[in-house]
Structure 1
Amino acid sequence: MSGPARVTHASTRAAVLDLIRAAGMISRVGLVNATGLTGGTISTVVRGLIDEGLVAETGHAESTGGKRRVMLQLNHFARYAVGVHLDDARITYVLTNLGGAVVARISRAGAIGDDLDAVVGRVAREVDAVVDSVGVERDRILGLGLVSARPSALHDVGRSLERATGLPVLLDHDATAAAIGEHWSGGVGATSTFAALYMGSGIGAGVVLGGTTYRGPSGHIGEIGHACLDVDGPRCPCGGRGCLEVLAGPAAVVEQARADRALARAAGLAGGRSKASTPVSADFAAIGRAARQGDARAVALLERSARYVAAATRTLANLLDLEVLVLTGPSFAIAGSVYLPVLRAELDTAFIARDVHPISVRLSPAAASASAIGAAAIVLQSELVPRRQGLRLPDDLAAEEPPVFQQFAR
């Protein structure tokens, strides 16, 4: 990747660990070349990481005429983290290993209307269930990440969960969490400027600039659902007019589908399934399933929504000069096959920097549980590679030598 992007860490140890994570496999010489640190410093740091069980020696690089270099990689099962995504429709729980891979996952009905004590007690029990399902020792769990579309409303839940589970709890925005999960698990380049476009009941975006997550002063970065696409459009709850969400977000799609009696019946939205009784994301999923089964009205409705989403996303891509855009979240998990080609076509023809570099647009393979995975990644990142001004990660960490073998809702 190009440009002066910089990833920074709170310590040399954190920087080295993050380089090993991002590279997948790398030698001590590779670490020296990537960091500019001395061989002695790298040897000392690596020895400490091996003693802690965080890093393991594994295999050798191909010989280039001298002694073959020993390769290093994360010990993926040295530590774990729990991620929880509170959504109107579902509560999703994951347990991930040090590399961000999911080792256990459960999903349960949402907690609309439940009081604080009920939510905390339920979440604590279900966290225990996901941990016990794989028999991981509690002292190897670094903490619990808790995310929703309204993280500011989670503080009381978070404090109570710390007492109930005995785990440190970190809070964040669900779209930001999804972006962190993609970055931590190696889904994008180490220094890529990218966005995770998240769609559940609403639409938002998590943003990573040059490998560093950007949250903004209030933590509400990436509110693309409130990009104005029609200055004379309908009033949005945010106070503006013609926002993407009121024109073509999941709630707007559901409302438009209900106005079409034939489509409402085909998607299962008619009868007893009223607006009040079913979360928006659940009704949107029903429309997505109808489209996947070939209902032309459902396809047309989603394609109309996709054109609006593509127009707003083009603005986001142009403002940030994105290199990668990942579609994620439960609504894209259901309807991503309709939205993806529309967004690709828009960015192929109207992304301002397309003659300088392409923008990769893809659907996350873990779109349905992306925020929960990202919540766990927030814990891993906070505990193991805290950031500050410091070292730069090179664009291609694995280029030094080829190894013998590779190992509430939005």
Structure 2
Amino acid sequence: MGGPSRDMPHATSRAAVLDVIRAAGTISRVRLIEATGFTGATISTVVRRLIDDGLVTEVGRAESTGGKPRTLLALNESSRYAVGIHLDHSGITYVLTDLGGSVVARMSRAGVGTDDPPVVVARMADAVHKLVQGVGISPDLVLGLGLVAPGPLTPSSGMRLTPPTMRHWEEFPLDQALAEAVGLPVILENDATAAALGEHWSGVMRDAASFAALYIGTGIGSGLMIDGASYRGGSGNAGEIGHICLDANGPDCWCGARGCTEALAGPAAVVTQARADANIARAAGLTQGPGGQRPSVAADFDAVARAARLGDTGARDLLETSARWLALAARTLANIMDLEHLVLTGPSLAIAGSFYLPIVQEELDRAFFARAAHPVRVRLSASPATAPAIGAATMMLRAELVPLRQNGIPLPGTYGEAESTAPATAPARAGR
């Protein structure tokens, strides 16, 4: 069984049991004892309370192996919901997920553009209310909002160092403003870390407790999962492989360095080269819009990827060059983390992923330092376009229902103290 182990730093026994049930899909009480190391009495008490709270349900019996058939447990996936929001300059994606991380509803709206942050927050709050109302569920079942944006972020909520297109968001207390506008708790995270958590909770990596998610949206980053927990670093910005140097004499990057992965391999670099080549620009339909305005980098990158898939050799060469640079960064990450699993995800890989996957896999097969001990298996996300938003919703599900210890310190109600956690109820509103 993949997912959490008995060594995971869950804050409570309740959180540990619920997480094991989630990861297993269906599981008996006997298997819960084996998976967690808890006593039968503890499992009995925790499971009973989870059933009473509507989070877990009995779903039938396992095949008999000679004794009485064991009753199977599963998440009651329609018992709680969370909203995930991916905020980007080129667009804002909203998803509503159930307790299991499955998408119940989704929608996309215009990006932040040049609007002032308070104006965008008001738009976002209105979209969240319409999303929930549109599926007819009770707002009381919505635990809160996960919100992700391009990093780096700061612990005080401000985006102190933002991409050039979002400089007017620097120092804006985004999560606080949205919590006040929506009336629900909000968690803020960078997009790559959220995408990794989403892949672990409900995506192609749900069977792997440790892996990295290599993320391409407007920029490039990575999220790290270690033993089922996100590794965030000192400020929540771990995994910024988009800003490791691949060429000391390479092009300037917006972060202030030179030769970064993002400057060499990112969507903006691919689009710039495509526009500089008349044949590729024509094949991809890269034309200026009304008033000389151009589509977003994300839209142009998708156009180049579509041209490559339709057989344009110039467009394909650009993507393969980008993929080779990205593969070097992936090898660096794999060497540092001694990875066994890597998932490629993010909106820019929704169309272009098939060009990147074989090149990254080939580089790791050829030059990964520990390849004699084990390979690195590279997979493509099943939902790269919405992975950040799904991961954002997952953040709220995990924070509310399966919290981990803070800074490695056991909280009251750790393993074996099943009575210590209050039942999960309708979430408190902002300002709790």
Same fold (TM over 0.5): yes
- The answer to whether residue 259 in structure 2 is matched with residue 258 in structure 1 is no
If asked which structure has higher relative contact order (CA below 8 Å, sep 6+), I would say 1
- The answer to whether residue 248 in structure 2 is matched with residue 231 in structure 1 is yes
Distance 1:145 1:261, change over 3 A: same
- Separation in structure 1 between the aligned mates of residue 380 and residue 196 of structure 2, nearest angstrom: 13
8 Å CA contact 2:288, 2:295 repeated in 1: no
Q: Which amino acid aligns with 1:47?
A: R
8 Å CA contact 2:267, 2:297 repeated in 1: yes
Identify the residue that residue 118 of structure 2 maps to in structure 1: 117
The one-character-per-residue Cα deviations of 1:102-135 (angstroms, maximum 9, x if unpaired) are 0000011212111123111111111111111211
Distance 1:28 1:143, change over 3 A: same
- The answer to whether residue 324 in structure 2 is matched with residue 323 in structure 1 is no
- Separation in structure 1 between the aligned mates of residue 177 and residue 236 of structure 2, nearest angstrom: 22
Distance 1:274 1:378, change over 3 A: farther
Identify the residue that residue 243 of structure 1 maps to in structure 2: 260
TM-score by length of 2: 0.86
Identify the residue that residue 38 of structure 2 maps to in structure 1: 37
- Separation in structure 2 between the aligned mates of residue 212 and residue 195 of structure 1, nearest angstrom: 11
- Separation in structure 1 between the aligned mates of residue 204 and residue 283 of structure 2, nearest angstrom: 37
Judge which range, 18-27 or 143-152, deviates more. Answer: 143-152
8 Å CA contact 1:80, 1:141 repeated in 2: yes
Superposition pairs of residues 239-318 of structure 1, within 5 angstroms:
239-272=256-289, 277-318=294-335
8 Å CA contact 2:344, 2:379 repeated in 1: yes
- Separation in structure 2 between the aligned mates of residue 86 and residue 274 of structure 1, nearest angstrom: 26
TM-score by length of 1: 0.91
SS of equivalent to 1:330:
coil
- Separation in structure 1 between the aligned mates of residue 105 and residue 307 of structure 2, nearest angstrom: 30
- Separation in structure 2 between the aligned mates of residue 186 and residue 160 of structure 1, nearest angstrom: 30
Q: Paired residues, what number?
A: 391
The one-character-per-residue Cα deviations of 1:57-77 (angstroms, maximum 9, x if unpaired) are 111111111111111110000
The answer for unaligned runs of 5 or more in structure 1 is: 393-410
Q: How far 1:279 moved relative to its partner?
A: 2.1
The answer for unaligned runs of 5 or more in structure 2 is: 160-168, 416-432
Identify the residue that residue 74 of structure 1 maps to in structure 2: 75
- Separation in structure 1 between the aligned mates of residue 224 and residue 25 of structure 2, nearest angstrom: 23
- Separation in structure 2 between the aligned mates of residue 356 and residue 287 of structure 1, nearest angstrom: 38
Identify the residue that residue 131 of structure 2 maps to in structure 1: 130
Identify the residue that residue 19 of structure 2 maps to in structure 1: 18
Distance 1:41 1:55, change over 3 A: same
Distance 1:48 1:84, change over 3 A: same
Judge which range, 141-150 or 243-252, deviates more. Answer: 243-252
- Separation in structure 2 between the aligned mates of residue 165 and residue 104 of structure 1, nearest angstrom: 18
Q: How far 1:276 moved relative to its partner?
A: 6.1
Q: How far 1:303 moved relative to its partner?
A: 0.5
Aligned to 2:176, which of 138, 159, 174? 159
Q: How far 1:275 moved relative to its partner?
A: 9.0
Identify the residue that residue 420 of structure 2 maps to in structure 1: none
Identify the residue that residue 55 of structure 1 maps to in structure 2: 56
Q: Which amino acid aligns with 1:207?
A: L
Identify the residue that residue 371 of structure 2 maps to in structure 1: 354
- Separation in structure 1 between the aligned mates of residue 313 and residue 180 of structure 2, nearest angstrom: 51
Distance 1:275 1:48, change over 3 A: farther
The one-character-per-residue Cα deviations of 1:113-160 (angstroms, maximum 9, x if unpaired) are 111231111111111111112111000000011110134337523222
Distance 1:272 1:105, change over 3 A: closer
- The answer to whether residue 202 in structure 2 is matched with residue 218 in structure 1 is no
The one-character-per-residue Cα deviations of 1:294-333 (angstroms, maximum 9, x if unpaired) are 1111001100110110011011011101121111111111
Q: How far 1:352 moved relative to its partner?
A: 2.1
Give me the CA root mean square deviation.
2.0
8 Å CA contact 1:5, 1:209 repeated in 2: no
- Separation in structure 1 between the aligned mates of residue 309 and residue 366 of structure 2, nearest angstrom: 27
- Separation in structure 1 between the aligned mates of residue 390 and residue 283 of structure 2, nearest angstrom: 33
Percent of aligned pairs sharing the same letter: 59
Identify the residue that residue 225 of structure 2 maps to in structure 1: 208
